[in-house]
Amino acid sequence: MRKQLIALLLTALLCVFPAAKAGELDLSTVPAPQQSVPEVLSPISEAPLLDSPPIHPDCAAVMLLEADSGQIIFEMNADSPRPVASVTKVMTILLTLEQLASGRLSPQSEVVVSESAAGMGGSQVLLDVGERQSVATLLKCMIVGSANDAAVALAEAMYGSEALCVEAMNRRAGELGMTGTHFVNCTGLPAQGQQTTARDVAVMSRQMFSHEAYFDYSTVWMEDIDHGDGRVTQLVNTNKLLKLYEGCDGGKTGSTNEAGYCVSATARRGDMRLIAVVLGASAGKERFAIARQMFDYGFAGYRRYPVASKGTRVRGQLPVSGGAQDGVELLLGGDLTLLIAKGDEQRVQLTSELPQSVAAPVRAGQLIGHVAVSMDGRDVARIPVVAAADVEGKGFGIALRRIWENWAGKF
């Protein structure tokens, strides 16, 4: 009799609490597997805040954006494919930083310089065949001195050959949505078919700047590199904005006859970081002057406006039909900070998009609706609204559960 009763109660409970469907299992207590694909930041905005640049840059293409939100302030010829010389190394640097972050590379690991790496032309740190340098030193040489030999040495250390590194560069570009980019080498030396765009440079630069370890190298102005045989090469940072612009702490330069003078630079003031991309300027000083103008405009005219904080209470209780409680409290399920023109705070409007009620059972964190964020009638964002607590259904299910708990407790 007891076995029959247990079987009956188990059958009833399974009807009230059905087995989870595929994809609905709660794995919150199981450690997440190591990601094979590096994190991708949220996409940059689809449209700039301004229809055209407020300055008149004498170059082929520009883009100015805020790093955290990815909001573009203005752009010019942002999707025109072109060579960018050593700005190409942004992707080589990014792959190195990602391997360091994942533990696949160690900063202290020694790299033996190959003949192909030592024989690279253009900007060099003058590595010798068979010379041993740490990953950290080679990365510093690439970031600070734009050294082609260091770039190839790291490419070979990471992937076995420059060709395989280039495959990884193109693969990562695809993951980042860089549709206007094709890499042929890891250095940016002139090569048929190698191209990118101001938009894609901004995307990969933003990803690179998201690594705090990058700034350990990018802020070095001058340093001697010891080759271990009595020779010393002096590195001098190619990014002159470090000295020319307050708040600038990183960037990558490049120049060839084909690409002109290019730079992708970043500067931070207060809680706002901007990224300025300048491609195809007529001279080295000109690219820096344009970038300074872009930074000046961005910092003077815009600010980060915290619209909402995750966990903020949205409204009074939302009615729950068929629930053990009459209602459930609602919370914002995410943060939102907008980049807006200074003085435009009053133009930001919030509108709730919530149902009249919700049916039980309700689970804490369950998506209930959204808060729409608009400016001048134009939707700019949506913030999820979630339930603050569980609300069980009332009736047969709860009564049966209590019977089961009281009965099972006797054994």
Distances (CA, A) of 28 to 24, 25, 32, 244, 310: 11, 9, 8, 49, 20
- Is there a catalytic annotation at residue 134? no
- Is there a catalytic annotation at residue 285? no
Alpha helices in 160-261, H assignment, sequence order: 162-175, 198-209, 214-218, 241-244
The number of helices, as runs of H, and strands, as runs of E, in the chain is: 11, 18
Question: In which residue are the tokens 């939100």 written?
Answer: 69
CA atoms of 98 and 95, how far apart (whole Å): 5
Contact 81, 279 (CB under 8 A): no
- Does a cis peptide bond (omega within 30 degrees of 0) precede residue 361? yes
Per-position DSSP letters for 106-175, written without gaps between them? -TT-EEEPPHHHHT--SS---PPTT-EEEHHHHHHHHHHH--HHHHHHHHHHHHSSHHHHHHHHHHHHHH
Which residues, at least 6 apart from 278, have a Cβ–Cβ distance to it below 8 Å? 57, 59, 61, 62, 261, 262, 263, 264, 265, 287, 290, 291, 294
**405 phi and psi, to 5 degrees?**
-65, -40
CA atoms of 296 and 288, how far apart (whole Å): 12
Q: Which token pair is 336?
A: 């939102």
Q: Which is catalytic among the residues 89, 140, 240, 252?
A: 89
Q: Which token pair is 411?
A: 């054994």
CA atoms of 323 and 319, how far apart (whole Å): 9
CA atoms of 381 and 307, how far apart (whole Å): 10
Number of residues that make up the chain: 411
Q: Which is catalytic among the residues 114, 123, 140, 146?
A: 146
- Is there a catalytic annotation at residue 146? yes
Q: Which residues are catalytic?
A: 86, 89, 146
